[in-house]
Structure 1
């Protein structure tokens, strides 16, 4: 595969006018208590974190920055550890890591930020960042900008409604339909380009004794990727981002068509999905029990010894007038707490996290992410990364993923239970869309 050029095409399409013009309201969200490491509850976490002023705990010294990481015990944690070690060597500043599993961190971020957060923490671009900026729960990091090698389009994704930057980007990755090359080759399967071809392939896999689509939605968010793909394929990218912005109606013929199409595909999905994590679902693809899986490239974590057999294709075309060139490609990066104990050190660390040096440290872990910094060395990229960059470069529209493109309270309190209800009982689409729309109106007008 030829090495892709710079991410200029992707960056030029990062911020459609409808997305840049969106605002969000104020509403508290999320619940629960964070746990960190082995058996440390909320009180222990807050006491251990560096930020938060006078609330107690071990404050970060002048040579220390506390770092709240949303990865614990995963391949992705290696990236964080490699960056922390590299930064200590380069700067003499110690990075005190407080690691929490990804889903716990994400679903309890509001509790975390209102408690005693770390100086710097992992987070996402999009409206989940802007929401917390508006609430005053994260810090202004404009002093870190401009960032050499980070284009202006990423700066827009890092900017809140007040014109200040609250985010530093590091990487992005696409969602697609994954499969094992050896399985396709052995069975003579062909990559589908249309929904009809996709259905036919699923039927053939079933006849061959395979689960066509691995599926696990215990954590609530994986199913969002399927909805995103179907909505963008059936109704187009602009309709999708407007719907996420609260502008469109969920109780519309267009959205009903999405759910009806999804219902037709559910028999090809792995059953009992609500009791299965994405990692457990990925294992069925890894073990050649399932034929495909709709997920992000982080799927490679479950293929430590045979990533070279992992391949993907973009979700196929549903309507030829719309095509199949819109994709999800979320941007990951970092924010700073509203009151860091070591603000100067935090800004310096954030600048490093966006640098080619940090990208080089991350590249040693074999993670399938694409560096946001255009000056980053791509020579260590795997074939999966190279193809990911190629897919993103060919996309005409880029979405950030459902729970980053809409209000966080709407995604967490309405969409997750609604989609899980649909997966459990797909035959009441009328009641489902009416309920989503009623709750949406209540939230978006608050």
Structure 2
């Protein structure tokens, strides 16, 4: 995986990583990823040695970029940092053993269900005191919401993110006379015009398994709102209910505008079709499609718009923008030093230093100097800052076993046969029972 692939794991191994993570979340200690630090035995004060950092930034580019960030911290604080890097996918797959065995003082992780789950098991350190201080001024209320556990306390420091939306080439829109749609009906009308002009209106590649989960998210929170969406992901809503049926009914309206054989195409090839002008739009993340446009030398001809409004009650108040960041051990070897490192990680200086290696993602800090960003990044910043709510992508917002074994298969079944929505949602609801306890 190079730096420009999505940060949860290699796109070719995402489903395997989800399965591996699910296998560990039962909280039974198993052999695997060795604990890297000594934080499990400490209480937080006497040791003044290096701060230990557990990192899943294992590929060469992100590994080097993170090392530069830590060098900046050491130069400013005079505190050394020991970086313990583990293979990106292995870190996810063996995270439970790592956390139970005594994690590093600070470690890399993700916002969303993945955060809340381990926080609820007391395997993540409470950093609410940092959020009540200077940290909060760097972030929006939506980012704080994404960093908060089920108990209302904060456990996470956002580092960088990238939004999902509908991406397109402005030059193609200008040439064809297309305008950005505001409503779902306008979206359907635009897709019809594109189809009439010989374009594939919606590029789609689902052979990787996960990409169309993002489309489900967009349509669900546009149809039913943020609260319903996050509660559905948490197993607190009925998958066989009318609201989920409405989501699939709305999605069905789009399918005639999909590229043929989406299940046999990977997301890279789909994104390339937008780059080449063969397809008009694609629901994807800036980091994914931006990778293809950057490599093709056309990043300046890439733009996006928020997924259109479906229900006026919710408008476009929610967006999807997965957030990567860092957590603290429940008992860091030196809590003060761990706090200093997390505070530095929250700074615009640290995040911008890291993102020199990535022209498709954005610093989480609202204090980042946007003048150093390209046009795409500048729009991403405004998009994220203006959002009332931020979701993390389905596989980060729900039980990992449910995501890999039920959600992916169900979405694929829907794409194969969109005419039995009632049977589909009943099957999902039945399978969900083994993952969510009422």
TM-score by length of 1: 0.75
Whether contact under 8 Å (2:127, 2:155) holds in the other structure is: yes
Shift in alpha-carbon separation, 1:182–1:434, aligned structure 2, 3 A: same
The whole-number CA distance in structure 2 between the counterparts of 1:191 and 1:255 is: 27
Does residue 303 (structure 1) correspond to residue 290 (structure 2)? The answer is no
Does residue 168 (structure 1) correspond to residue 154 (structure 2)? The answer is no
Select which of 118, 125, 128 maps to 1:132.
118
Whether contact under 8 Å (1:403, 1:411) holds in the other structure is: yes
Does residue 244 (structure 1) correspond to residue 236 (structure 2)? The answer is no
Q: In the alignment, which residue of structure 2 is the partner of 1:67?
A: 54
Whether contact under 8 Å (2:54, 2:84) holds in the other structure is: yes
The whole-number CA distance in structure 2 between the counterparts of 1:267 and 1:116 is: 52
Does residue 183 (structure 1) correspond to residue 172 (structure 2)? The answer is yes
TM-fit CA distance, 1:228: 1.7
Whether contact under 8 Å (1:67, 1:120) holds in the other structure is: yes
Q: In the alignment, which residue of structure 1 is the partner of 2:69?
A: 83
Q: In the alignment, which residue of structure 1 is the partner of 2:80?
A: 93
TM-fit CA distance, 1:338: 5.3
TM-fit CA distance, 1:313: 0.8
Instruction: Provide the secondary structure at the position in 2 that maps to 1:96.
Output: strand
Structure 1 segments unaligned to the other structure (5+ residues): 1-27, 33-41, 55-60
Whether contact under 8 Å (1:149, 1:373) holds in the other structure is: no
Instruction: Provide the secondary structure at the position in 1 that maps to 2:407.
Output: helix
Whether contact under 8 Å (1:328, 1:401) holds in the other structure is: yes
Q: In the alignment, which residue of structure 2 is the partner of 1:328?
A: 320
Counting matched residue pairs gives 403
The whole-number CA distance in structure 1 between the counterparts of 2:343 and 2:267 is: 32
| Post-superposition CA distance 1:68-108 (Å, at most 9, x none) | 2256366x66653442343344345245252545x775566
The whole-number CA distance in structure 2 between the counterparts of 1:156 and 1:106 is: 23
TM-fit CA distance, 1:391: 2.8
The whole-number CA distance in structure 2 between the counterparts of 1:428 and 1:62 is: 61
TM-fit CA distance, 1:280: 4.0
| Post-superposition CA distance 1:125-145 (Å, at most 9, x none) | 233211012223334445655
Q: In the alignment, which residue of structure 1 is the partner of 2:247?
A: 258
The whole-number CA distance in structure 2 between the counterparts of 1:277 and 1:109 is: 28
TM-fit CA distance, 1:312: 0.5
Q: In the alignment, which residue of structure 2 is the partner of 1:6?
A: none
Q: In the alignment, which residue of structure 2 is the partner of 1:360?
A: 352
| Post-superposition CA distance 1:283-324 (Å, at most 9, x none) | 332333322111222232322232111100111233455533
Shift in alpha-carbon separation, 1:93–1:209, aligned structure 2, 3 A: farther
The whole-number CA distance in structure 2 between the counterparts of 1:286 and 1:160 is: 40
Shift in alpha-carbon separation, 1:115–1:274, aligned structure 2, 3 A: farther
The whole-number CA distance in structure 2 between the counterparts of 1:255 and 1:229 is: 13
Instruction: Provide the secondary structure at the position in 2 that maps to 1:150.
Output: helix
Q: In the alignment, which residue of structure 1 is the partner of 2:15?
A: none
Correspondences of 1:405-424 after superposition (within 5 Å): 405-424=397-416
Correspondences of 1:39-54 after superposition (within 5 Å): 46=33, 49-50=36-37
Select which of 74, 91, 106 maps to 1:120.
106
Shift in alpha-carbon separation, 1:336–1:216, aligned structure 2, 3 A: farther
Whether contact under 8 Å (1:140, 1:336) holds in the other structure is: yes
TM-fit CA distance, 1:177: 0.2
Correspondences of 1:285-304 after superposition (within 5 Å): 285-299=274-288, 300-304=290-294
Shift in alpha-carbon separation, 1:122–1:147, aligned structure 2, 3 A: farther
Structure 2 segments unaligned to the other structure (5+ residues): 1-19, 25-29, 42-47
The whole-number CA distance in structure 2 between the counterparts of 1:148 and 1:425 is: 52
Q: In the alignment, which residue of structure 2 is the partner of 1:229?
A: 218
